[in-house]
Structure 1
C-alpha cells in the first residue's frame, strides 16, 4: 500500500494508543505478514487518514516497527506520540513537548579519564517544526483536548532518548545528561529509534510528547495513574491536529503545483498541452508532448514497459535540469541513484517491487522539489505505479 496522504502514528504504551484512537472513526485492522497489527481510520470530522501502531517500549523496538510501517504505507509522515519526563522543572506535568531535535544520549567511549560522550542527534524536519509552531500560535488544536485537560502549554526543544526510565535529578545518568545534553527539556525511551528509522528511509518524522512526570525522584505508580492518561491525551490532541495540517498542506501544495504548470503553449502545427495530475486527466490538444499519458484506465501490470518509458523520460528531464543548473553535482548524483533504484524495482513484477519503486520515486521527488518540471512528472509516475493491479 502506498498513500502520500496517510500519516502514521506510533505509540509505545496502550494508554497512548487509546488516546490517539479516540480521535479516529471507521477504524479497520490491518495485519503485517510478520504479525504486527495496524489500525487505519480517519480523523473524526475529516477525510485525513491515519495508520496507528503500537511499538512497545524502547528505541530498538520502536525503530523496527517504524521501519515496518514506513515500508508498508509509504506515509506522508510518521509521528511518535506519548508521555515523557520533564528535565530542569520546565515543562510541567500536562504540557506538550514537540521535539526540535532528538538525542540518543547513551553513546560514548570509556577512557581512563572517564566516559566521553559521542553525541548522535536528529533534527526535526523544518516543515514539521514550522507547522507545529503555527498550531501552537493559533491554539486551534486545543479544541481536541478533553475537558479535564486544563490549559497545557506547548514547549519546543530537544528530547533525550535512552534505554532507562529516568527518575532522579542526582543520579550518575542525570549528571551525564546535565553535562552533555543540557538543552534537552524532556526525556523518554523511543524517539531516537523512530528518528533513526526515518533517517534511513528518507521519511518525515515528528515527535510529540506529553509530560507525565518530572524525572526527579517523584515519579511513582500513584502519580502515573493520575498523570499518564492526561499527558497522553494532550499529546494525542496536538499530534492529531498536526497530522491533519500536514495532509491539508500536502494537498494544497499538489494543487498549487498543478495550477502553476503552463496550460498551453503554441507550437508549429497546433497547440501543445502539458497536463499534470495524480488522477484521471482529460486532454484536448493538437499535440501532446513530453509525457507518457494513460487515457481512461489506470496502468495495470501489463504496462510495465510504459512505466519504464516514463522513468526513462524522467532521466531525460533530470539531465535537462542539470544542464540548466537546477541541480548541483551531489543532488544530481543522488537523484540518478534513486532513478536507478526505481527502474530496477519496477522490473520485479510483485507488490514489493512496486513499493520499492514508489519509495525511490518519493525520495527523488524530495530531491527535485524545487524543479517544477521534474517534480510534476514524478508525481505522475508515482500515481501510475500506485495504479498497478
Structure 2
C-alpha cells in the first residue's frame, strides 16, 4: 500500500458510477491506495496526479457509486465531502451516450464546458414544458484548464492521447474495439437524468430542445450536491453508445479510459489549490462562540441552506475548502465559525463574506458584525 494521506491534504474528488469507469481512474493515480474513513462505509482510493505546478501534484480521492443514478451520486458526494472536507472540486469521469447530429462518435471525449442540464427536472403547463432551475456553473478554474488544453490542441499537443495509449496497453478491457479512428474532444453541455435512453427520436428531441451533446445519469446529482456543500464540479465523459437500439457494452472500457485520460490532462493543466495550515489552538480566540452561532442562526440568510452555501463560497478558498458539510443548520454554522477561527484572517474573512451576502449598509449585517467583533478577539 502507498503512503498515507490525511484528509486535509486532498483537494480533488473523483466520482465514477461503474467498475469499468473506476478502474482506469485508479490506474492513473500515483501511489494509489485504499482508505477507510471513520463513520463512512464507502471505500476510497487516495493518490496523486501531476498538476500545472511541477513540484506540487494534486492530492486526489476517488470513489465508485454503490448504484448508478443521480440520487446515489448526490449521496456519494455529500459523504465524500464529509469525510474529506478539504476537497474543493468534484470531478465526474466515465461513459455517456453521444448525439450523432452534434458530430459525436463512439470513443469521442466530451468536456462539459457548458455545464449540466437536468432534463427531467421540468415544469409542465398548458403553455409547454421548461426546465425548473439551472444546476449552477462548472468550476471556473477547471474551465480555464480546459481552455488551455483546447489551445494546445490547436498546435497538435494532445497529452490525453499518451495517457490513453498507456491505459490501453495496461489492460485489454481499455482497448478500442475497432481501429483506425481518431479520438475527438467535443465541448458543450451534457444532459443528465435517471433515464437509460435507447430511443433515437427522443434523443434527438432532447438534444435540440436543450442544446446538449451527450446524455448520462449521474452529473446532475453531483452538481446539486456540490452546490449544497459549497464545492465546485466538472464533468468529463466519453462516448460508449448513441442512445439508440444498437446500444451495447462493447465500447464501455475504451470510453471509460478515454474519459480518464482527458481528466488526467485537465488536472495536469490545473494549478493546485494550496491550503494554509490551520493554526494550533483552533478557536481559542472565539470567546463567545455560542453567542456568535446564535446570532448567525438568527439570520434568515444563514439559516437557509442555499444562501449559507453562498456564504461559504465567498470565503477564501483555503478556508472554504475546510468547512465540513452538515444538513443541520446549527452544526453547519458551528463548522463555519470553527473553521474560520483556525486562521489569523478568519474573522475578517467571515465578516467580509457576510458583508457581500447581506449588504454593507443593511441593519442585519451591522448587528451580526457587532456580535462577532465583541465575542471574537483578533489576537
- Which TM bucket (shorter chain)? 0.5 to 0.7
Aligned partner of 1:28 among 27, 33, 43: 33
- Deviation sequence 1:1-49 (CA, Å, 0-9, x none): 6536531111000000001111123223222424111111123898432
Q: CA 1:47/1:179 → structure 2, altered by over 3 Å: closer, same or farther?
A: closer
Q: For 1:81, which of 87, 93, 108 is the aligned residue?
A: 93
Change over 3 Å in CA distance of 1:304–1:144 after alignment to 2? same
- Partners of 1:359 and 1:176 lie apart in 2 by 48
> Structure 1 residue 355: deviation in Å?
8.2
Q: Report the equivalent of 2:17.
A: 12
CA deviation vs aligned residue, 1:195-236 (integer Å, no higher than 9, x gap):
11111122110100011111132212xxx1x31100000100
Higher relative contact order (CA 8 A, sep 6+): 2
Q: Structure 1 CA distance, aligned partners of 2:236 and 2:58?
A: 19
SS of the counterpart of 1:233?
A: helix
> Structure 2 residue aligned with 1:305, among 251, 269, 284?
284
Please tell me whether the aligned partners of residues 103 and 119 of structure 1 are also in contact (alpha carbons under 8 angstroms): no
Change (3 A) 1:71 1:155: same
Residue 169 in structure 1 maps to residue 148 in structure 2: no
- CA gap of 1:206–1:178, structure 2 versus 1, over 3 A, is closer
User: Counterparts of 2:267 and 2:78 in 1: how far apart (Å)?
Assistant: 19
- Unaligned 5+ segments in structure 2 are 1-5, 153-157, 169-174, 290-306, 325-330, 354-379
The aligned residue for residue 138 of structure 2 is 124
Matches of 2:198 and 2:340 in 1, distance apart? 40
Which protein has the larger Cα radius of gyration, Structure 1 or Structure 2? 1
The 8 Å contact of residues 28 and 264 in structure 2, kept in 1 or not, is answered as yes
Partner of 1:51: 61
SS of the residue aligned with 1:36?
strand
Cα distance in 2 for residues equivalent to 1:300 and 1:133: 39
Per-residue CA shift, 1:317-359, capped at 9, x if unaligned? xxxxxxxxxxxxx99x9479979x99x99xxxx9x96688448
Cα deviation, 1:116-164, whole Å, max 9, x if unaligned, reads: 5435343222221121121233222322112555641111100000111
Contact conserved, 1:107 with 1:120, CA < 8 A, in 2? Answer: no
Q: 1:353 to 1:162 in 2, by over 3 A?
A: same
Match of 2:259 among 230, 235, 246: 235
Q: Distance in 2 between matches of 1:43 and 1:95?
A: 23
Q: How do 1:280-359 residues align onto structure 2 when only pairs under 5 Å count?
A: 299-301=279-281, 304-306=283-285, 308=286, 334=311, 357-358=338-339
> Normalising by the residue count of structure 1, what TM-score does the alignment of the two structures yield?
0.63
TM-score, normalisation: structure 2 = 0.65
User: Do structure 1's residue 185 and structure 2's residue 213 form an aligned pair?
Assistant: yes
Conserved in 1, the CA contact under 8 Å of 2:40 and 2:79?
no
Count, aligned residues: 288
Residues 16 and 232, structure 1, Cα contact 8 Å, conserved in 2: yes
Unaligned runs of 5+ in 1: 255-277, 280-297, 312-329, 369-389
Which residue number corresponds to residue 81 of structure 2?
A: 70
Counterparts of 2:314 and 2:151 in 1: how far apart (Å)?
Answer: 40
Name the Cα RMSD after superposition. Answer: 4.0
Rate the CA distance shift 1:106–1:23 in 2: closer, same or farther, 3 A. Answer: same
Change (3 A) 1:355 1:12: farther
